[in-house]
Amino acid sequence: MRILFVTQYGVLAASSRTRVFQYLPYLKGLGAECRVLTAIPDIAGSQLQVTAQAWRKLLYYGWASWRTLLCGLRAFWHAGNSDLVLIQKVILPQPLRFFFRLLTTPLIYDFDDAIFTTEVRRQTWLSAWKERRNSVGVPAMLRLCKLAVVENEYNAEFAAHHCPQTAQITGPIDTDHYHPGPAKHRRDVVLGWIGSASTLPYLDLIREPLKQLAQRFPDVRLCIVGAEQAAIDGIEIEAKAWRLEDEVADLQGFDIGLMPMPDDPWTRGKGGYKLLQYMATGLPVLTSPVGINQQIVEDGCQGFWASTSAEWLARLEELVTDEALRRRMGQEGRRRVEEVYALNVQQIRFAQLLQTLVEEGG
């Protein structure tokens, strides 16, 4: 089986890393020939730095559009020699989509977040252009394909309107790589959050509960990975840049994993990978019950749901003061990930999806 993967980003981006690159060793072990073409190469911080100024964002979008066009042309050239083409999150320009309709090779479209909408809350002409591109481009990409592979039911419902088949694969997460660390022997309790500057504002939702918690429990501190400039008054914070090679050790240094989120069309379609990272490293979690989070975490089992400030404060206090509860929930979270969301479970299903599509395509 010859598979062509076309990814939006390189291995440093979680969506490409988890939904393409980590499958490759297993697929190659089955005898598949895998070729990967990447539209936007890994450039540390590039997607965040360009948001600072409009002219930089414009230059970045122009460069990204040119890269996407070239990648699409190469993909079209190689598609004829492939048994299957999986396009991960890339929105090809309209002229290229016309040519891709001529292909007989089966196509798959994969996306994790709700890219058919937008996470941009401050509207500018650039963000409006991006929103229009996504709202038209994602359905058009889905119509090219025989199968859509998505992260959650929210995105599957959207994809089903435009694509004949859908499949849901949440995560997955490599439980050999992400695993609990050594036992901690310390008085302080570390609340942990991992993410990017684009999602850092979600922590503002729990700013007041965190401040009140720190006043009652001076040994509590907050560790933020992925946003060096983060600051919340009233609680001790350690903020550091995200590095792939440090990620597991950073997660193992947490005692409790946090995932606050607002409830809107973008977040309802977001992936739950942050929760899977916490749970795979044996952490109890505290999350907003939005979208896929409600399926990954059973309230009161692997962690807690919290919607209001009062609920966040109460649940934080419960976890901070009860080490045995944290340990029990962390163990249950690890077990759930191993059974449902682990790479060694989902990669078998993923390979079967690909093989079935190739067989159906003749």
* Sequence-separated (6 or more) residues with CB below 8 Å from residue 132: none
- Strand 33-40 to 236-240 pairing: unpaired
The predicted structure's pLDDT at residue 45: 46
The predicted structure's pLDDT at residue 180: 96
**Do residue 253 and residue 136 come from a single domain?**
no
Average pLDDT over residues 326-338: 97
The one-letter amino acid code at 107 reads: L
The reply to whether 182 falls in a domain is no
- Strand 256-259 to 236-240 pairing: unpaired
The reply to whether 177 falls in a domain is no
**Do residue 199 and residue 294 come from a single domain?**
yes
Instruction: Cite the DSSP H helix spans in the chain.
Output: 14-19, 24-29, 46-49, 54-79, 94-100, 125-144, 153-160, 207-216, 247-252, 265-268, 273-280, 293-296, 309-321, 323-336, 343-360
- The CATH number covering residue 306 comes to 3.40.50.2000
**Do residue 51 and residue 89 come from a single domain?**
yes
Q: How many CA atoms lie within 13 A of 116 on its CB side?
A: 22
Average pLDDT over residues 244-265: 95
CA distance 281 to 204: 25
**Do residue 160 and residue 196 come from a single domain?**
no
Cα 276 → chain centroid = 10
The domain tally of the chain equals: 2
Q: How confident is the model at residue 214 (pLDDT cuts 50, 70, 90)?
A: very high
The reply to whether 180 falls in a domain is no
Would you say the C-alpha torsion 106, 111, 115, 120 has a positive or negative sign?
negative
Q: Is the CB of residue 358 less than 8 Å from the CB of residue 30?
A: no
Q: How confident is the model at residue 46 (pLDDT cuts 50, 70, 90)?
A: very low
Average pLDDT over residues 122-145: 80
Q: How far is CA 57 from CA 113, 115, 138, in A?
A: 21, 18, 21
The reply to whether 184 falls in a domain is no
**Kindly report the CA angle at 176 between 174 and 180, in degrees rounded to 5?**
105
- 55 token code pair: 């002219």
Q: How confident is the model at residue 229 (pLDDT cuts 50, 70, 90)?
A: confident
CA distance 326 to 235: 21
Among 272, 313, 273, which Cα is nearest to 289's?
272
CA distance 94 to 71: 14
- 361 token code pair: 């395509």
Q: Which residue has the higher pLDDT, 52 or 279?
A: 279
**Do residue 134 and residue 206 come from a single domain?**
no
**Do residue 203 and residue 351 come from a single domain?**
no
Per residue in 148-169, pLDDT (tens digit) is 999 999 999 999 999 999 999 9
Average pLDDT over residues 27-42: 95
Residue 272 confidence (pLDDT) above 80: yes
